[in-house]
Structure 1
Amino acid sequence: MLHHISFGVRDIEHATRFYDATLAPLGFVRVWSDLRPGEPDQAVGYGLPGGGDKLALKHCGDAARAPGPGFHIAFAAPSRKAVDAFHEAALAAGGTDNGAPGLRLAYGPTYYAAFVIDPDGHRIKAVCKEPT
């Protein structure tokens, strides 16, 4: 259904450092970059290696605003260990814990997820539904 999602960010260089580190445990990489320090309209895109972007970050400066409560992006994780590594990397890169890795039985018997708020206030999570 969706081709990609874009987030507006205040500081594109800071945001790319955060997402480079945070998405790596899930197998996502920067698939394109349009970084020109000091110039407007900079952006980067993340996706699977060799593929197109699924998440784009757009530099908006002080105009960047994260959506409010109820909105989040859930990234598919290949394993529970990847969910753990996503959470650890996000916190080390400046994210805020919004739910430690663990089973979320209200969503299903194998629903394993971790929740983070990025430095711009976007709510993100990694989820794995594999049994172990």
Structure 2
Amino acid sequence: MIAYVTVGADDMALAKRFYSAFLPALGYGLKEGPEGLSYAMPVEPGQFPILPDFYVKPTFDGKPASAGNGAMVAFEARTQNEVRTLHAAALAAGGHDEGQPGFRASYGPNFYVGYVRDPQGNKIALFSSNPNEPGRDG
């Protein structure tokens, strides 16, 4: 099980603006501190955390943060409309389009996805595979 994902950022204010444009809509809460941004699902007392957490941190070695080539983090939305809404919010918050929301021929018929790059260049996917919505072929 993946417990958390961390991406690096050089500008925490810009990263906060970007990630706070869509992660709260997916249920993530934000804790901020000198060590960066920590997004996690709320946990009721006595319950196990809903994983994974998502962290945006400055680099440990002090060198500039960089995006991994081929690395991507995907967040699941509930509907195709939510994918479109969150994709637009991410772009308005300083992200860069990496692929407009829609179906992709190389994925399953219900996999609806949009791609963005955060201000640091990290690739983010926002997707829904809701079987109750129209698929690519219908």
Shorter-chain TM-score bucket reads 0.7 to 0.9
Give 5+ residue unaligned stretches, structure 1.
Answer: 36-41
The Cα shift of 1:62 comes to 5.4
The Cα shift of 1:29 comes to 2.7
Secondary structure of the 2:20 match is helix
Question: Map of 1:1-132 to 2, 5 A cutoff?
Answer: 1-30=1-30, 32-35=31-34, 42-50=35-43, 51=49, 54-60=53-59, 63-68=64-69, 70-131=70-131, 132=133
Mapped partners of 2:88, 2:63: distance in 1 = 28
Cα RMSD (Å): 1.7
Give 5+ residue unaligned stretches, structure 2.
Answer: 44-48, 134-138
The Cα shift of 1:76 comes to 1.1
The Cα shift of 1:7 comes to 0.8
What does the per-residue CA deviation read over 1:24-82, in whole Å, with 9 as the maximum and x for residues that have no partner? 3323231x2214xxxxxx211112233566110112365211111x2111111111121
One-letter amino acid of the counterpart of residue 59, structure 1: P
Q: Indicate the structure (1 or 2) with the bigger Cα radius of gyration.
A: 2
Q: Give me the identity figure in percent.
A: 36
TM-score between the two structures when normalised by the length of structure 1:
0.84
TM-score between the two structures when normalised by the length of structure 2:
0.81
Secondary structure of the 1:106 match is coil
The structure where helix makes up a greater share of residues is: 1
The Cα shift of 1:105 comes to 3.4
Secondary structure of the 1:89 match is helix
